Structure 1
Amino acid sequence: MTTVVGIDPSLTAAGVSTIKHPRIAGNPNKPICATMGRQGSNADTITQTAIRIGDQTRRIWGSLPSSVQLVVIESPGRPNPNAPGRFAERATVYYRIVEQLALRRIPVVTVASKTVKKWATGSGDASKAEMVAAMRELWPAALIRNDNEADALALATMGAMQLGWLEPELPCHISPNVSWPKGVVRV
């Protein structure tokens, strides 16, 4: 297996980024970033929402290459008291993706939003713009169109560094607070 994938799950704009192992990647190693999803409506029925969740899970799953060695996914976080239903939708997408990875025995690690922000920028309270800027600086050859792709690329980069494919470039890249699965260790 020769690819690490980062996923920032969402129903409307999930970010998915892939990084190839340096020995098979081109020069420069250019990650692939994508955003997928579609808007729903507050008037959607529970059935329509369930179908959207299934569609989005299939979109994300379908975007993963067959060479996946590790997936690093952002955890759904906490419910927003102003939109509690949105949390349930995000959590459902998250768990459906993790379920598919588990069934295929692909190692998966979950990372909190504040942890990936701190890893990428040095601050767990980094803005979306700061995340995009940090990933564009780290990966100048990558086409990063939005904050969802930047988050996903940060997650994938964390995994690639954990596997020893890449060296940490900033002090904030060393020892992020992540529980790596057994067997996913720096070589």
Structure 2
Amino acid sequence: MIAVGLDPSLTCTGLAIFDTEGGVITRRVRTPNIGTSLLARRQRMRRALDGVLTNVPARVDVTLIEVPNAAKQHGAHGERMALYWWLVDQMFARGRVVEVAPKSRAKLATGNGNAGKDDVVAFTRAAFPDVRIPDDNVADAVGLAWAGARWAGIPTPEYSPMQQQAFDRLAWPARTAPIV
């Protein structure tokens, strides 16, 4: 069984893979700004997409991906949304996909939907002391993959009641749904 968590970003996408055979793997996919031309922006998004896809198995049981925060006023919203949709499309080709709102992502990891990035990092490091969690991008991905692993039946640390509440509110696919 394989569960993937993705925290997509134009600068540093967080990736976590929970695998019953390989344990927990984390990665950061860094994509520096290479310019503002249309071609440069497209190349940056392609590098982010390719960096994720080269690290994710061809078949997964479920991927949880954070939806970009529409309230963020800085950054390139169009490019962030494009990267999100490219990743959603490619992850559907590998298995089931569940989208997670930013507050739900924080609540899954900590039990508090208003938890800050430092809290998410601290909580995921405490829950998974043997897993490499270098920053908030990976911590977010670990929190997402943790939920996916629970759904897929991969043994994980127990959830608090508030984490379980966030888990239960996600739009989970049917277990019998075909992988497209």
User: TM-score higher than 0.5 here?
Assistant: yes
Structure 1: how far apart are the matches of 2:91 and 2:58?
12
Identify the residue that residue 17 of structure 2 maps to in structure 1: 18
- Report the Cα offset of residue 46 of structure 1: 1.6
2:122 matches 1:133 = yes
1:184–1:110 distance in 2 versus 1, CA, 3 Å:
farther
Identify the residue that residue 88 of structure 1 maps to in structure 2: 78
1:70-121 residue CA offsets vs partner (Å, 9 max, x unmatched): 111111121433x3x522111111100111122x251000001100101211
Identify the residue that residue 32 of structure 1 maps to in structure 2: 25
Q: Which amino acid aligns with 1:7?
A: L
CA contact (8 A) 2:13 2:137 kept: yes
CA contact (8 A) 1:120 1:172 kept: no
Structure 2: how far apart are the matches of 1:165 and 1:181?
17
1:105–1:57 distance in 2 versus 1, CA, 3 Å:
closer
CA contact (8 A) 2:58 2:94 kept: no
Alignment of 1:113-152 (within 5 A): 113-152=102-141
2:164 matches 1:174 = yes
Match of 1:182, SS state, is coil
- Report the Cα offset of residue 137 of structure 1: 0.9
Alignment TM-score, normalising by the size of structure 1: 0.85
- Report the Cα offset of residue 164 of structure 1: 2.6
Aligned length: 174
- Report the Cα offset of residue 11 of structure 1: 1.3
Identify the residue that residue 3 of structure 2 maps to in structure 1: 4
Alignment TM-score, normalising by the size of structure 2: 0.88
Please, which of 45, 55, 70 is the counterpart of residue 53 of structure 1?
A: 45
Structure 1: how far apart are the matches of 2:95 and 2:58?
11
CA contact (8 A) 1:11 1:56 kept: yes
CA contact (8 A) 1:7 1:152 kept: yes
Match of 2:54, SS state, is helix
CA contact (8 A) 2:32 2:44 kept: no
Match of 1:116, SS state, is helix
Structure 2: how far apart are the matches of 1:182 and 1:88?
31
2:63 matches 1:71 = yes
Q: Name structure 2 gaps, 5 residues minimum.
A: none
